[in-house]
Amino acid sequence: MNFEPTYELETPFRIEYPEHQLAPYLFNSPHSGRCYTEAFRQSSRLTERELRSSEDAFVDHLFSKVPQCGAPLMAAHFPRAYLDLNREPYELDPTMFDAPLPSFAKSSGTRVGSGLGTIARIVSERKEIYRSKLDVAEGLDRVDRLYKPYHQALRRQMALTHVEFGYACLIDCHSMPSRVLKNTNPSVRPDIILGDRYGTSCHSSLTNSAKSILSHLGFKVDLNRPYAGGFITQHYGRPLKGLHALQIEIDRSLYMNEDTLEPVDHFAELIDLFARFTELLMQCANDHLLPEAAAAE
């Protein structure tokens, strides 16, 4: 199992398929990519460690047994600092570029203003990424070359699952820095936060099942605060159409040393634990998730 970053981007993403898909679930890890190409590193003023601070390191490994459990697993190879798949396609900060952006770019808004648009200006530690302004054509090329093919493939997998089973459930897998909850009482501090856009991106039975299973497995779980789900959860969650999306955020300190970016000694046990979560969740298929049932409620 390779935990080290790589420097050549041979393919932008991968989809690992089960021998037979056993349930209407698809798992997605859009922020665990660790291919920091030489060109990207040279364009940045940051060290490799600083660049990796916004990476959902090893989340794809945590869910690596999902295909063995009978569901597809999709994961990006390029890093979030290079292109963020959990944004609208053209949330671009005009101050980052050497010329005006096209009129269709979304050049304002909270995420763009904070430096965390589709092409981020900063990493999570609020450090500026680039040495100089980016070429507009280069920025648009990232969207065309990486963002659009990824989402086309994700939509296709959701559609195929929906056709086969009558509905589809997307589990969008992420991690959060432990410092996000540093002021929370340790006795109630969650290990995992589930985000369903406050009940709008999936049927409550999916959220409740995930919360119950994770709690049974020993995790402290909270809902929607401070992570209710990003663009992917909001965009792909259409419960009335039988398309459900649930985000899962895992405290990084549970599975890695956040200073050295090394997995904990019991990392293999955590992989097995999330495989068990996957197996149990996939057994929770129910009629509430069908589009006809959701529309009737």
What digits encode the pLDDT tens for the residues 81-102?
A: 999 999 999 999 999 999 999 9
Residue 213 and residue 277 in contact, taking contact as beta carbons nearer than 8 Å: yes
Q: Which of 73, 108, 78 lies closest to 90 in space, CA to CA?
A: 108
Strand partners, 122: 128
Q: Is residue 274 included in any domain, yes or no?
A: yes
Q: Output the pLDDT for position 126.
A: 87
Number of domains in the chain: 1
**pLDDT tens digits, one per residue of 20-47:** 999 999 999 999 999 999 999 999 999 9
Q: Output the pLDDT for position 30.
A: 98
- pLDDT category at 184 given cuts 50, 70, 90 is confident
Strand partners, 74: 15, 28
Q: Is residue 155 included in any domain, yes or no?
A: yes
Q: Output the pLDDT for position 125.
A: 75
Specify burial of residue 112 (Cβ count, 10 A radius: 0-12, 13-18, 19+).
buried
Q: Output the pLDDT for position 119.
A: 98
In this structure, of 45-54, 142-151, 284-293, the range with the lowest mean pLDDT score is 284-293
Average pLDDT over all residues of the chain: 95
Q: Output the pLDDT for position 294.
A: 57
**pLDDT tens digits, one per residue of 218-263:** 999 999 999 999 999 999 999 999 999 999 999 999 999 999 999 9
Q: Is residue 103 included in any domain, yes or no?
A: no
CA–CA gap between residue 54 and residue 49 (Å, rounded) = 10
- pLDDT category at 293 given cuts 50, 70, 90 is low
pTM above 0.75, yes or no: yes
Q: Is residue 191 included in any domain, yes or no?
A: yes
- pLDDT category at 153 given cuts 50, 70, 90 is very high
Q: Which of 50, 230, 242 lies closest to 129 in space, CA to CA?
A: 50
Q: Output the pLDDT for position 295.
A: 57
CA atoms within 13 A on the CB side of 246: 25
Q: Is residue 87 included in any domain, yes or no?
A: no
The whole domain housing 162 covers 13-79+146-296
Q: Is residue 68 included in any domain, yes or no?
A: yes
| DSSP letters for 145-201 | IIIHHHHHHHHHHHHHHHHHHS-EEEEEEEEE-GGGGTTS-TTT--SEEEE-TTTTS
CATH code at 218?
A: 3.40.630.40
pLDDT reading at 182 higher than 70: yes
Residue 69 and residue 279 in contact, taking contact as beta carbons nearer than 8 Å: yes
Residue 245 and residue 233 in contact, taking contact as beta carbons nearer than 8 Å: yes
Q: Is residue 52 included in any domain, yes or no?
A: yes
Q: Compute φ and ψ for 129, nearest 5 degrees.
A: -80, -45
Q: Output the pLDDT for position 297.
A: 64
**Per-residue exposure over 162-171, b if at least 16 CB sit within 10 Å of its own CB, e if not:** beebebbbbb
Q: Is residue 31 included in any domain, yes or no?
A: yes
